[in-house]
Chains A and B, each alone.
Chain A
Amino acid sequence: MPVEFRKDLFADERDDNLAEIGKPHIRQDILGHVTGRSPFYDDHLFDGLLHMRCVRSPHHHSRVRSVDTSAAERVPGVVRLIRPQDVPVNLNTLLALLNFGRDDEPLLTPDRCAYKGEPIIAIIATSERAARDAVAQVKVDWEELPFVLDVEEALKPEAPMVNETYPNNTFDYHDRYDHQKLRFGDVEAGFAQADHIVEGEYQMSPIEQAPMETCGAIAAPETNDRFVCYTSTQALFFSVAVAAKQTALPSSRLHFIGGTVGGGFGGKVDSHHEPLAILGAMLTGRPVKYQWDRAEEMQVGAPRGAERWRIKDGVMRDGRIVAREFTGFFDAGAYTRLSSYAVQKCTGHIPGPYTIPNIASNVYCVFTNRTPSTAMRGFGITGVDFAIECHMDKVAEQVAMDPIELRILNAYRDGDMKAHRRSAKNCALIECCQVVAEKSGWALSADARAASSLRGGGVDWRAEIPETLTDQGGQIGERKRRALAPEPFAGVSQRHTVAAGSANEHPATGNAPQREDMVIEAERLGFKVSTGVPVSSAPIAPPTPPGVPVPYPNNARPPEQPDRDASTGPGLPPAARSAEPLLPRETVPQRPVAPPPAAVTPPPSPSQPTSADQAPGGPRPPRRPGVSRFISGPRGRR
């Protein structure tokens, strides 16, 4: 049935046939493409165009001791140098526009360069050749610093600090959490019930988008007190806002022209060219082009970030997966860009399109001295999907089951409750599997052929939100600093538990000080904070005597203590949470003492906290505030 439009209102409209879906339709921009007339940003000619090139760090991690630009300034054709202090607002983070994350990345870096290729000075000259010559003439005294290129190495206490805004080398979710968490049911109970445990580790390398057109922008003063900016950006409004912020111009003075992108694939959202080109036009009064060459596109251009995944499944003999646990590390490189968001997408995708009653995941957005990573085609999903589907094959092998039938058996069906407390709708994995099997001549059993996404879902446990298991300490998400609060959420139904650390979590009872949970505790050695870090000015909570609950009224927060944050499982029996965390740290370790972590320790897993408090460890391993209990102590496997 066609949609009934209000024909009376549109009686004068043309009677267009809008039934286009399913028919090929000639692209409206293709005539420009085949005649070479599509207006890419570099296809705009300007008289007196100036060219900008950047002096870049040649090291993974380094500090600028001194810069001598005198020879560069004498290169014929050099018009102007732009130094960090010339950038009106030098610090930004891409998602600041969404109020997500803190400004952490300079446009031009004044001192410490955290990745190879980080720009420190921009040089504007009358020709690209002169700009290149001048860049080569800049003498920089680099102090090489220790660097870290591996996500789990970066989480070790002794790892060098990559990003001063996030000194623990992890992005702070909701200003409190060093990872993004998902909990559904009780994975440990699921593992105990399972006939097989299948574990796997999967690594996806960084992938460069490699667009045919390299990133760039041309900016020029217009005659109406505006600056025009032709840009290759694939995120025009991001770029306008970032450029307005960093140049300290109202966006009404910026005239952005884009939309013709020579291949983006996610790599043209980072909005670094536009502010620099506009700044160049502001400072020289002339048109300025800032264009990456191919080498810069490949080395400096932000790739899809690397991801490392560990998956542990509990599987029944018949192939039903009853528990699945993830630990994920997303390599953000040196700055956040979009990686923080990618981790949330990862978590939103877990556990893949399968109905599994018990799920746990911890995903970390980790800073390393690699090129900052950003968006690329389905980013946040592609890596974890790669891991999940590899793991499904591994599970199929382990239980000696056909891999497609394993997927059909475990697939979401309509009405199933997902780990995110949403009912699955319009499911089609089963049907996709059946079509793939048919097209590829893959024999399926009669049961698998007869399965349907429309049948068998949404019944019994498949429709229910199970009681959410909490960690030791009675919390879904551990705090960076131990919570001393009694139960302010008594009476809140457990049924409404949501993924801690997600945007839908229960609001805390007030606005917690941003960094209150990041205070330095005495035993947290090996922690490094730069002077610029906004450590909370709130006083450090005094140690609480053992076993003495902190007295304060329900729903009121003692000023000297961090709020019991939203990750604390609401509606838990008070006993579940009061037992251990009420003890101040100093009083806990009355346990046998074991040597420090051996060379090989098991990988950290979300459901098996390896808290330093619990480790039968002697001298407690150094800890940094903000470090998760789940991966503290022996970090990683080394």
Chain B
Amino acid sequence: MKTPVTFTLNGADAAAFADPGQNLLDVLRRGVGDLSPKYGCGQGTCGTCTVLIDGEPHLSCLVLAETVQGRAVETAGGMANGPDLHALQTAFVEGFAAQCGYCTPGMLMAAKALLDRNPSPTRDEVIEAISGNLCRCTGYEPIVEAILTAARAPRNSVGSTV
């Protein structure tokens, strides 16, 4: 028995039929077609599936799809404003903060949640904010630096896409 779920995805209306027990990650990827959140572990340990629900970071592999009914979901696929990258995306590009790119969408979501809430984080706050996101390539340092760089970018370019 499938359940209809309607929500906003990156500001636009979205709808899908969810199977009982189906998680948000699967509904976003296969039901809606937003492939930016990634499957890494399916058990809430790696952070590659991180999305924002009403502005808060969540691990979409552990969220039942039905629970986002009527809520606002954001993914890395919706960060850019047309061809204009979000300040975090620009900082990741210029700061070599991605290698294989698999953790990047989740990393960006965790960072965006932080900057939306705290536009001038300390280094420790950045590290804390991405502590649930694993990266096997970069050693984290370029990611931390990129997030700090984005936080120093002109204010109007941060958090303005949704």
Is B36's CB under 8 angstroms from A45's CB? no
Is A265's CB under 8 angstroms from B93's CB? no
- Selecting from A25-33, A490-498, A520-528, A602-610, the interface stretch reads A25-33
Is A294's CB under 8 angstroms from B76's CB? no
Is B105's CB under 8 angstroms from A36's CB? yes
B20-43 interface code vs A (CB 8 A; 1 in, 0 out)? 000000000010011111111111
CA distance A38 to B77 in the complex (A): 11
Is B100's CB under 8 angstroms from A212's CB? yes
What is the interface of chain B, defined by CB distance below 8 A to chain A? 19, 30, 33-43, 45-46, 48, 75-77, 79-80, 85, 89, 92-94, 96, 98-105, 108, 134-137
**Cβ distance B80 to chain A, nearest Cβ, rounded Å:** 6
A interface, by DSSP: helix, strand, loop or mixed? loop
Is B93's CB under 8 angstroms from A212's CB? no
**Of A43, A210, A263, A293, which one neighbours B35 at CB under 8 angstroms?**
A43
Is A212's CB under 8 angstroms from B134's CB? yes
**Of B45, B75, B101, B108, which one neighbours A262 at CB under 8 angstroms?**
B101
Residue of A nearest to B85 (CB): A34
Is B98's CB under 8 angstroms from A33's CB? yes
**Cβ distance A41 to chain B, nearest Cβ, rounded Å:** 11
- Residues on A with C-beta less than 8 A from B41 are 293-294
**Of B33, B34, B46, B93, which one neighbours A34 at CB under 8 angstroms?**
B93
Would you call A261 an interface residue if the criterion is a C-beta within 8 Å of the partner chain's C-beta atoms? yes
- Residues on A with C-beta less than 8 A from B102 are 40, 211-213, 262-263
CA distance A32 to B101 in the complex (A): 8
Given A45-B30, A212-B40, A35–B136 Cβ distance below 8 Å? no
Quick one: which of A32, A37, A214 has the most chain B CB within 10 A?
A37
Size class of the A contact interface (CB-based, 8 Å): 20 to 34
- Residues on A with C-beta less than 8 A from B45 are 294
Residue of A nearest to B146 (CB): A34
Is A26's CB under 8 angstroms from B93's CB? yes
Is A33's CB under 8 angstroms from B104's CB? yes
**Of B42, B96, B134, which one neighbours A27 at CB under 8 angstroms?**
B96
Is B40's CB under 8 angstroms from A35's CB? no
CA distance A24 to B42 in the complex (A): 36
Would you call A42 an interface residue if the criterion is a C-beta within 8 Å of the partner chain's C-beta atoms? yes
**Of A34, A37, A213, A260, which one neighbours B98 at CB under 8 angstroms?**
A34
- Residues on B with C-beta less than 8 A from A24 are 96
Interface residues of A in 199-221 (CB under 8 A from B): 209-214
Is B79's CB under 8 angstroms from A35's CB? yes
Is A210's CB under 8 angstroms from B136's CB? yes
CA distance A275 to B96 in the complex (A): 35
- Residues on B with C-beta less than 8 A from A127 are 19
- Residues on A with C-beta less than 8 A from B33 are 45
Residue of A nearest to B26 (CB): A128
- Residues on B with C-beta less than 8 A from A209 are 136
Q: Top 5 nearest A-B pairs by Cβ distance?
A: A36-B36, A33-B101, A262-B102, A294-B41, A36-B76
CA distance A35 to B36 in the complex (A): 7
Interface residues of A in 1-37 (CB under 8 A from B): 24, 26-27, 29-37
- Residues on B with C-beta less than 8 A from A29 are 101
CA distance A133 to B77 in the complex (A): 33
CA distance A213 to B137 in the complex (A): 12
**Cβ distance B62 to chain A, nearest Cβ, rounded Å:** 13
CA distance A608 to B19 in the complex (A): 68
21 contacts between A and B (CB under 8 A): A27-B96, A29-B101, A30-B92, A30-B98, A33-B92, A33-B101, A34-B79, A34-B92, A34-B93, A36-B37, A36-B105, A42-B38, A45-B30, A45-B33, A209-B136, A212-B102, A212-B103, A262-B38, A262-B100, A263-B102, A294-B46
Interface residues of A in 234-292 (CB under 8 A from B): 260-265
CA distance A264 to B43 in the complex (A): 21
CA distance A210 to B103 in the complex (A): 13
Is B40's CB under 8 angstroms from A213's CB? yes
**Cβ distance A344 to chain B, nearest Cβ, rounded Å:** 27
- Residues on B with C-beta less than 8 A from A38 are 101
Is A214's CB under 8 angstroms from B30's CB? no
CA distance A301 to B159 in the complex (A): 40
CA distance A24 to B36 in the complex (A): 27
Is B46's CB under 8 angstroms from A212's CB? yes
Residue of A nearest to B88 (CB): A34
CA distance A294 to B135 in the complex (A): 15
**Cβ distance B160 to chain A, nearest Cβ, rounded Å:** 16
Given A36-B36, A45-B33, A293-B42, A265–B136 Cβ distance below 8 Å? yes
CA distance A581 to B79 in the complex (A): 76
Is A40's CB under 8 angstroms from B38's CB? yes
- Residues on A with C-beta less than 8 A from B135 are 212
Is A42's CB under 8 angstroms from B36's CB? no
CA distance A214 to B40 in the complex (A): 7
Is B37's CB under 8 angstroms from A26's CB? no
Given A42-B39, A212-B100, A262-B38, A34–B94 Cβ distance below 8 Å? no
Residue of A nearest to B79 (CB): A35
CA distance A212 to B103 in the complex (A): 7
- Residues on B with C-beta less than 8 A from A211 are 100, 102, 136
- Residues on A with C-beta less than 8 A from B103 are 212
CA distance A42 to B36 in the complex (A): 11
Interface residues of A in 341-369 (CB under 8 A from B): none
- Residues on A with C-beta less than 8 A from B48 are 212
Is B38's CB under 8 angstroms from A213's CB? yes
- Residues on B with C-beta less than 8 A from A210 are 136
**Cβ distance A376 to chain B, nearest Cβ, rounded Å:** 12
- Residues on B with C-beta less than 8 A from A34 are 76, 79, 85, 89, 92-93, 98, 101, 104, 108
**Cβ distance B50 to chain A, nearest Cβ, rounded Å:** 11
**Cβ distance A384 to chain B, nearest Cβ, rounded Å:** 24
CA distance A27 to B96 in the complex (A): 8
CA distance A212 to B42 in the complex (A): 11
- Residues on B with C-beta less than 8 A from A35 are 36, 76-77, 79-80, 85, 89
- Residues on B with C-beta less than 8 A from A40 are 38, 102
**Cβ distance A517 to chain B, nearest Cβ, rounded Å:** 44
